[in-house]
Amino acid sequence: FPLSGGGGTMAALGSDSWWKKTLYLTGGALLAAAAYLLHELLAIRKEEELDSKDAIILHQFSRPRNGVPSLSPFCLKMETYLRMADLPYQNYFDGKLSPQGKMPWIEYNHKKVSGTEFIIDFLEEKLGVNLNKHLGPHERAVSRAVTKMVEEHLYWTLAYCQWVENLHETQKMVSLFGPFSDLLKWIFCHLTKGIVKREMYGHGIGRFSEEEMYTLMEKDMRTLAGLLGDKKYIMGSTVSTVDATVFGHLAQAMWTLPGTRPERLIKGELINLAMYCERIRRKFWPEWHHDDDNTLYESEESSEASKTYSPLQDFSFYSRTETFDEEGNSISQTPDTDYTGHSLFDSDVDMDEYRDHEQCK
C-alpha cells in the first residue's frame, strides 16, 4: 500500500482490504500462538541434563491451578503409587512425552519406562517393592479385572465429562503461562477435546449418546462402591496397587468436575467412594489442601491459627516418610499424620458424621 500520505493510505485500504488485513492479522496471531503452544508442549528448549542414577524421575503434566495434583488420572495414579510404596522420586514437568508418546513416564538409572503398568512392574523388579504381596491368586485376579474396568472403560466416560461436557471449567484449571496464556489454554483445551472425541469414537464408547455413556459410567461407579463396601481399601484393610488406580480416577470426579453428574453421584449416593478418596488423600497427600476441607476432619485441639498448608511443589524430591523443602532441608513427616501432626486413621473420617454434615449443608 502507498504510504506517502494518510489520504493515499485510506484510499488504498478499502473495506475489502481492511477485512483481508484483519483476517491476515488474526490468522497470524493464531499461528503464532499455536507455534508457542507446540513449543511449550514438546519442550523444544534446552533443558538441564537429568541424572537418574539411583533416582526415580517422574515426568508428568504440570500441576493444575485448583490445587489438585493432576488432571490426568494416570499421572495421579503413578505419583500416588510412589507414595504408597514409599519410593522417593523427583517430579519433572517438562511437558515432554515418552518415546512411546505416553505420559507419565519415568527415568531410573538412565532407563526410560512408560505406561503405568510397565512402570510398576519395572519398579517391583528393580527395587523389590510389591503392594500386592498380601493378596492371594483370586484377589490378584479381581484386582487386575477392576484395574482394567477403571482404565479401559470408566476412564473414557470421565474424560468425556472433563474434556467435552465440562470443558469450560477444565480450561480454568489448566496451567499455562507466558504470552497469550488465555488463548493458549483455549487452543490446548479444544485440541484435547477433539482428540478425546476422536479416540472415544475409535474405542467404541464414543459412538453412544451422552445419556448412554453416563449410564455406563454410573454402572462402573456403582460396581466400585459395591466392591468397596465398608472396607478401608478396595481389597481389604491394606492398601494395594489397585487403590492407586481407582483413586487416580475417582479423584477427578471428586475434585475436578464441579457440578457434574460424576461429582453428584460420588458425593451423594455413593458416599463410601467419597470417604475412600478422602482417606487416601489425607494419608498419602498430607500437603494437598482443598477448599472443601472443613473441621469435620480436624482434631478438636487444632485451631485455624495452627494450620499451615504446604503447596504442592512443582519441582521437588518427595518421600512419604521424609520430604524436602525448597532449600533441600529434610522435613520429618510420618505417613499417618496430616499437616497438623494429628492422626489420620479411619476414625478421623467417620461415615456417619460425614452424612450428618452433608445434611446440615
Cβ partners under 8 Å of residue 206, min gap 6: 156, 160, 197, 199, 200, 213
- Could you tell me the residue range of the domain that residue 219 belongs to? 59-286
| CA distance to 287, 302, 337, per residue, from 67 (Å) | 10, 22, 20
As a 3-state breakdown, the chain gives helix, strand, coil percent values, each rounded to 5, of 55, 10, 40
What is the phi/psi pair of residue 73, to 5°? -60, -30
Give tens-digit pLDDT for 53-93: 788 999 999 888 888 999 999 999 999 999 999 999 999 98
Q: How far apart are CA 8 and CA 39, in angstroms?
A: 41
Domain count along the chain: 1
Cβ partners under 8 Å of residue 72, min gap 6: 60, 61, 103, 104
| Helix (H) or strand (E) segment spanning residue 210 | helix 210-228
pLDDT for position 319? 52
pLDDT for position 12? 44
- Residue the block writes with cell 454402572: 219
Q: Is 342 within the bounds of a domain?
A: no
pLDDT for position 32? 64
Give tens-digit pLDDT for 233-257: 999 999 999 999 999 999 999 999 9
Q: How far apart are CA 237 and CA 231, in angstroms?
A: 6
Q: Is 167 within the bounds of a domain?
A: yes
pLDDT for position 102? 87
Residue 74 CB burial class (10 angstroms; 0-12, 13-18, ≥19): buried
CATH at 93: 1.20.1050.10
pLDDT for position 25? 67
Q: Is 263 within the bounds of a domain?
A: yes
Where the chain has pLDDT below 50, the residues are 1-14, 43-48, 294-310, 314-316, 321-355, 357, 360-361
Note whether 70 and 170 are within 8 A (CB).
no
pLDDT for position 266? 96
Q: Is 191 within the bounds of a domain?
A: yes
Q: How far apart are CA 220 and CA 216, in angstroms?
A: 6
Q: How far apart are CA 295 and CA 60, in angstroms?
A: 32
pLDDT for position 87? 94
Q: Is 329 within the bounds of a domain?
A: no
282's grid cell: 489425607
Q: Is 118 within the bounds of a domain?
A: yes
Q: Is 100 within the bounds of a domain?
A: yes
Residue 98 CB burial class (10 angstroms; 0-12, 13-18, ≥19): middle
Q: Is the whole model's pTM more than 0.85, yes or no?
A: no
pLDDT for position 173? 87
Q: Is 9 within the bounds of a domain?
A: no
